[in-house]
Amino acid sequence: GESVGLHLPTLSVQEGDNSIINCAYSNSASDYFIWYKQESGKGPQFIIDIRSNMDKRQGQRVTVLLNKTVKHLSLQIAATQPGDSAVYFCAENIASGTYKYIFGTGTRLKVLA
Amino acid sequence: DSGVTQTPKHLITATGQRVTLRCSPRSGDLSVYWYQQSLDQGLQFLIHYYNGEERAKGNILERFSAQQFPDLHSELNLSSLELGDSALYFCASSVGRVNSGNTIYFGEGSWLTVV
């Protein structure tokens, strides 16, 4: 089904280092992707998005890379800060005519002081 | 603050009962999505409404139903509640033009505990 387990992979990064969070998406027809950050007890918060006609997009301290050949998405966070500690989800917009967003397995980012 | 408002924030109810969760989308957004997040599952897509019409259904149980009203707010009705329905229920909204993907913005969720 579309559910994903919450035995989350965890990435531990030293404060100030760069973080790279990876996501494999499921549908080659997906044409829009979003990265979300979710802090404990809160709703997912939009970070950055990318459309399938691009392979890279940069925001403030964040970069998303899209590799359609292998259906892979990554989120790079520069100079990781303690406030970046959260669970990060990628979401793909399945362009099947009934647009819906499917969320990938989240990754827990822990920033070490 | 995403601009999506959900009520109630917390709800405790008994098995077999029925509850209604409410969502007000961001101003101008026509699409509303409902997601369920429980401890042993990730974010599960339940249902999507666009401008009052149901557009897509995910893993939504028959005991659950939703609707979007003319003022674009949405309600998720959960009936014959079971312990396993305890979860965080998120509403999200987007501008929601049908032919393109749009960023969806999430509310803070409604915590439902079934006892």
Tokens 């997912």 correspond to A44
- Checking if the pLDDT of B74 tops 50, the result is yes
Q: What's the confidence (pLDDT) of residue A7?
A: 64
Query: Residue B47 is encoded by which pair of tokens?
Result: 């249902």
Counting as low any pLDDT under 50, the low residues of chain A are: 1-6
Enumerate residues 6+ apart whose C-beta is below 8 A from A14: A80, A111, A112
What's the pLDDT band for B98 if we cut at 50, 70, 90?
Answer: very low
A6 at B interface, C-beta within 8 A: yes
* Residue spans of alpha helices (H) in A1-113: none
Query: What residues of chain A lie within 8 A of the CB of B47, using their CB?
Result: none
CB-CB under 8 Å, A36 with B106: yes
Q: Among B42, B56, B92, whose Cβ lies nearest the Cβ of A3?
A: B42
> If you average pLDDT over every residue of chain B, what do you get?
91
pLDDT tens readout for residues B35-62: 999 875 678 889 999 999 998 888 899 9
DSSP state letter for A26: S
Please report residues of B whose CB lies closer than 8 A to that of A95.
101
Alpha-carbon distance B92 to B105, whole Å? Answer: 5
pLDDT in tens, B1-28: 889 999 999 999 999 999 999 999 999 9
DSSP symbols for A45-86:
EEEEEEETT-SEEE-SSEEEEEETTTTEEEEEESS--GGG-E
Least confident of A25-29, A51-55, B78-82, B103-107: A25-29
pLDDT of A1 reads 35
Q: Tell me the shortest Cα–Cα distance from A3 to chain B, in angstroms.
A: 6
Both tokens assigned to A109: 């980012």
Find chain A residues with C-beta within 8 A of B59's C-beta: 1-3
Other beta carbons less than 10 A from residue A68's beta carbon = 14
- Model confidence at B70, in pLDDT bands (50, 70, 90)? very high
In the 8-state DSSP scheme, what is residue B27? T
B73, pLDDT greater than 70: yes
Rounded distance between C-alpha atoms, residue B43 and residue B41, angstroms: 7
**Among candidates B33, B98, B100 on the partner chain, residue whose Cβ is nearest the Cβ of A101:** B33
Please say if the pLDDT value at position B99 is more than 80: no
* Cβ pair A44:B48 closer than 8 A: no
Residues of A in contact with B41 (CB under 8 A): 3-6
Give residue B41's pLDDT: 65
Percent of chain B, pLDDT > 70? 93
Q: How many CB pairs under 8 A join A and B?
A: 79
Distance of CA A52 to the CA centre of its chain: 15
